[in-house]
Amino acid sequence: MQLYSLTNVSPDRQKILVKGGQLKDDTDMSTLGLKENAVLMMMGSVGELPKAPETQTKFIEDMSENEVAQALAIPAGLVNLGNTCYMNATLQCLKAVPELKQALDKFKNSSSSGGGSQTSVQNKVASSLKSLFDQLNESGEGVPPMVFLHMLRQMSPKFGEMDPRGGGYRQQDAEECWNEILTSLDQTLGSSGNDEQSVVEKYMSGTMVTTWKSDDAPDEPPTVNQENFRKLDCHIDSSVNYVSQGIHKGLEQVIEKRSETLGRNADFKVVSRIARLPKYLTVAYNRFFWKASESVEAKIVKSVKFPLDLDVSEFCTPELQAKMRPAKQYLRELEDKKALERKMAKRAKLDKDSDEGSANNINVTEDAEMKSEDAKPFELDAELKADVGCNPSGVYELVGIVTHIGRTANSGHYIGWVRKEKGIGGPEPSGKGIPDTQNWWYKFDDDNVSMVTDSDILRLCGGGDWHTAYVTLYRAKNLE
């Protein structure tokens, strides 16, 4: 107790150390060989010992899927109501277009048309989609899209067809669903006030110039047409390995038609070039074809690689290419700078505990500043600047994918993949064993939602019985 009065360390926390070990309550003092003025050491804490945390720390690799979803604030999925995965995947990708959500928030169903008219049904489709998006933003669990599905089937009865083999609803084509929804919204979310374009036309539609010319009739002047488009088709055959090759095949074809000059059919070379690029570009992969021997729409499973960043300026008219060149050059310099920063930051992290760590950190700063000076400001073309909703650079970044797994169009399963925006939503996965990735993605397998990396996304290119990209959604890269 004398030690307690001197140190305020209670006896149960006192540890007395002597030469050769620790002094115990039953230690025979005569065996220690203590001499006068010998020094003993006492260890112990004065205050209360720290308590174990009430909530035990749990690492992400030790969590279940539900626990990971709660910790990372993963968004809600859509319940499959019977072969409705095609619709669920489509809606999750369209939800990645904030301008579409903003237009729906402003929409008011004030149509005076009859309850069964097409206009009235389209208005109800927009209203139900608005409510469904609100539910997805507010819910932490899977949302059953019953009202929207009912209105979609009322607008397009095809999506309500029954499967004669199983008795339930048939599996449908996700790209057809994508097109039907956007066509309806294009007509419903139309002009308001001084705005002459719908949100679909402004942000998701481009302009294509097509020239028809026949070498068999050199004296016949070429025919030039201009029309709007909402998607680029990626044609797939044995020679196509990359999405750019497939797009090129769709924009340059040889078609037989009647020549007025020759008075007979002739081969015409049809060349299409883009005169306006939308902010959001849809690329559809032509993976299904009619197989007469089996009376099914069979699938082309060939691998067609797609990039996370897509440059489509080569498919544009020379006039548009010239207008976009300054912005494209600026983005190239900006990307070079970011790539250098990532490389140097990774090197600095590896050298953090070494003697050269400080020097490497200095080099990172100096190199980043040097590269920042290279990305010089530029003057954006006046027409592109005034065209709200266009892509002024021709360079896109991938933000959404609809994939299909299966061998035919009327079977299999669709999944939606949407890129997580940095700083929005829950935290990004981190910690021991977590892979390194520039972007995280949400995998919307109906109401089962998880997170994947860029590497997982790039594996969706096809080549076997795995999830294969069927529709990709690209967004114009931001001119920071």
CB 83 within 8 A of CB 169: yes
CA 145 – CA 98 distance, rounded (Å)? 20
**Helices 174-188 and 118-138 sit at what angle, rounded to 10 degrees?**
110
Phi-psi region of 89 (alpha: psi -120 to 50; beta: other; left: phi over 0): alpha
The one-character DSSP state at 432 is: T
Residue (of 192, 91, 59) closest to 400 by Cα position: 91
What token pair was written down for 134? Answer: 């609100």
CA 69 – CA 449 distance, rounded (Å)? 8
Residue (of 300, 123, 315) closest to 206 by Cα position: 315
What token pair was written down for 31? Answer: 């065996």
For this structure, is 85 an active site residue? yes
What token pair was written down for 289? Answer: 């074809």
Maximum C-alpha span of the chain: 128
What token pair was written down for 399? Answer: 């933000």
CB 219 within 8 A of CB 236: no
Residues 150, 235, 248, 413: which is the catalytic one? 413
For 316-319, the CB contacts below 8 A with 24+ separation are 316/273, 316/274, 316/275, 316/277, 316/394, 317/209, 317/273, 317/274, 317/275, 319/275
**H or E stretch at 319:** helix 318-350
3-state helix, strand, coil in the chain (%, to 5): 35, 25, 40
Q: Which residue has the tokens 């004398």?
A: 2
For this structure, is 461 an active site residue? no
Amino acid type, 31: T
Residues 85, 234, 316, 390: which is the catalytic one? 85
CA 253 – CA 235 distance, rounded (Å)? 11
Active-site amino acid positions: 85, 413
